[in-house]
Amino acid sequence: MHVPDGFINAPVSAITGAVAAGAVAVSLKGARRELDEKTAPLAGLVAAFIFAVQMLNFPVAAGTSGHLLGGALAAILVGPYTGVLCVSVVLLMQGILFADGGLTALGVNITDMAIVTTVVSYAVFRGLVKVLPRGRRSITAAAFVSALLSVPAAAVCFTFIYAVGGTTDVSIGKVATAMIGVHVLIGIGEATITALTVGAVIAVRPDLVYGARGLQQRLKLRVGGELIDAPTAVPVAARSSHRKVWLTGLAASLLLAGVVSFYASASPDGLEKVAKDQGIDQNTKKHHTEDSPLAGYGVKDIADARLSGGLAGVIGVGATVVAGSGIFWAVRRRRTNATSPASLPEGV
């Protein structure tokens, strides 16, 4: 659902850019509360994993494909504020390095693919977790439903933005019907990927899943006739498995982007198909980085398509995990500095 340059006019692009910038600023502040010694290292990996899986277009209908948006997955794994930042990092890397998603449309894409998907999915997820039985299966089921609904929500958002700032005169009703229809199907794939990934992490380390916090009840001790929470201590085995989870996730991301992506569907994704069928792509502009060495998810001057695409995918995963980890480390460090004894007023 990457919107290219030329779909949306300059004023609306500027407005969505301001909305996106404001949301990112709020998310940077909110992420300080979400990122801790567990989620901070995981957040950069989540961004890299989303980048990798977004390269795997899957067929959803005749001549149409879809790919993961990632808002629900990121929000559940590392928190909604951090989730917005994860998807935004992915979109930034894709736009600058791979000419995927217009640079003037970056605000549109962040608003649509990062903000809307994360906010909608996490709101649905939290609502379901409150009413479903307490357990790991409920977390996985809630992840499935929330991810499923987040994709058509993003389609509705794009339709609204296009109705306000579209550069071609087309029937918005037809655009809405086509967009929502195909993205409901894409949502099934999104939901499946999200549920499987969340379920896999919960099975190994439920304490790493932000949305599963509080799933395990604290051990109670009776002291002086009263029940109190027992102090928690992270077992040595759990601490060592944290690194294993991170390395396994990175290896999976590299494998998906470097090898499996070669077998992804070559059909246009939902937005591309609707744009062509409904004529909203008439004013598409050339991407500002169209001539970059990695444009189109291939390495320039490498003739072998498999090798070219694989190297581009590996480079993309590496760049995303470095950029994401750097941002989240800085946010985490700022939180630590802000709460350190030296930063507190005297007497606190």
CATH of the domain at 133: 1.10.1760.20
User: pTM (2 decimals)?
Assistant: 0.90
Report the number of distinct structural domains present in the chain.
1
Task: Tell me whether residue 40 is in a domain.
Answer: yes
Residue span of the structural domain in which 175 resides: 10-214+244-337
| Average pLDDT value for residue range 318-337 | 88
Reported confidence tier of residue 120, pLDDT bands at 50, 70, 90: very high
Q: Given a cut of 70, is residue 265 above it in pLDDT?
A: yes
For residue 167, tell me if it sits in a domain.
yes
Task: Examine the pLDDT at 237 and tell me if it is beyond 60.
Answer: no
pLDDT in tens, 271-288: 999 999 999 999 999 998
Q: How far apart are CA 342 and CA 151, in angstroms?
A: 45
| Predicted pLDDT of residue 219 | 43
In a domain, 291, yes or no: yes
- 117 assigned to some structural domain: yes
For residue 43, being part of any structural domain is answered with: yes
Position 299 scores a pLDDT of 96
pLDDT at 135 over 80: yes
Residue 86 lies in a domain: yes
Asked if residue 189 belongs to a domain, the reply is yes
331 assigned to some structural domain: yes
Question: Which pLDDT score is estimated for 282?
Answer: 92
